[in-house]
Amino acid sequence: MYNNRIEENILYEDKEILVCRKPAGMPVQAAKVGTMDMESALKNYLAQKEPGKTPYLGIVHRLDQPVEGVLVFAKTPGAAGSLSKQIMAGGAGKYYMAVTEEKITNAEGTLTNYLKKNGRANMSQVVPENTQGAKKAILHYQVLDQKEINGKTRTLLKIKLETGRHHQIRVQMAHAGMPLLGDRKYNPSGEKGTSLGLCSCSLVFKHPKTGKQMKFETEPHGSAFLDFVKKL
């Protein structure tokens, strides 16, 4: 599925953009030689469509390797610039489904923190506002459902990002006492043997050429969502 069948994950394509569904576990851009990633798989797909031509594929945003969901890529430099500006300015709507291990009493809420990335550890942490290198992070959440599973409460959330920081949802939710199911990086003492409970379920942006608003959606496939799948 990662390389030979990448076309099965394509949701939309035209001359300017390519929208696809990233499987959980597949990196957007691999750091290790020999590791298949979305960028390489999609470039191979585009090269096969037009033999002899080197395809352009611009990465304008990312999802963490264990996160599944919707991504948009640019097929021209102009589209890359337009999409990057939208995302940097908060003009693109990024919505996620998430499953936490804890019961959440508030039906909805907003989390505002300052995050600092530790590149060596590939982690981020909540820090005081005046910390050098700290960046403001804001997300809004809404409780969709709660279930008791093996004596433990799991909560299904819909999350809207206002900012796009490194590991933002995972860090902020863990800091707020609502760690994501299956997050072995920020919730190491949590339940084992399940996928990360995080899916980029909806992406809204303006087409870089026409200006038309476009919306793409997908449902989570990971095991963390199995108890809620009939609700989605």
The pLDDT tens digits for 90-121 are 778 999 999 999 889 899 999 999 999 998 99
Distances (CA, A) of 217 to 97, 137, 148, 207: 11, 24, 28, 16
Specify whether the CB–CB gap between 194 and 182 falls below 8 A.
yes
Mean pLDDT of 151-156: 90
The pLDDT tens digits for 21-75 are 999 999 999 766 667 899 999 999 999 988 888 899 999 999 999 999 999 999 9
Give CB contacts under 8 A, 24+ apart, made by 86-90: 86/205, 86/206, 87/60, 87/61, 87/164, 87/205, 90/162, 90/163
Q: What is the residue type of 197?
A: G
**Distance from C-alpha of 6 to C-alpha of 41, rounded to nearest angstrom:** 7
Q: Is 64 a catalytic residue?
A: yes
Which token pair is 101?
């291990």
Catalytic hit among 14, 64, 145, 227: 64
Task: Tell me the three state secondary structure of residue 177.
Answer: coil
The pLDDT tens digits for 206-229 are 999 999 999 999 999 999 999 887
Specify whether the CB–CB gap between 27 and 66 falls below 8 A.
no
Specify whether the CB–CB gap between 139 and 63 falls below 8 A.
no
Q: Where are the alpha helices (DSSP H) in the chain?
A: 38-49, 77-88, 168-175
Distances (CA, A) of 170 to 54, 117, 215: 37, 13, 24
Q: What angle do CA 226, 167, 68 make, to 5 degrees?
A: 35
**125: Cβ contacts below 8 Å, ≥ 6 apart:** 115, 116, 118, 171
Domains and CATH numbers, the chain: 6-231 (3.30.2350.10)
The DSSP bridge partners found for residue 142 are 108, 158
Query: What is the predicted pLDDT for the residue at 98?
Result: 97
The pLDDT tens digits for 193-206 are 889 999 999 999 99
Only one residue has tokens 């997908």, namely 218
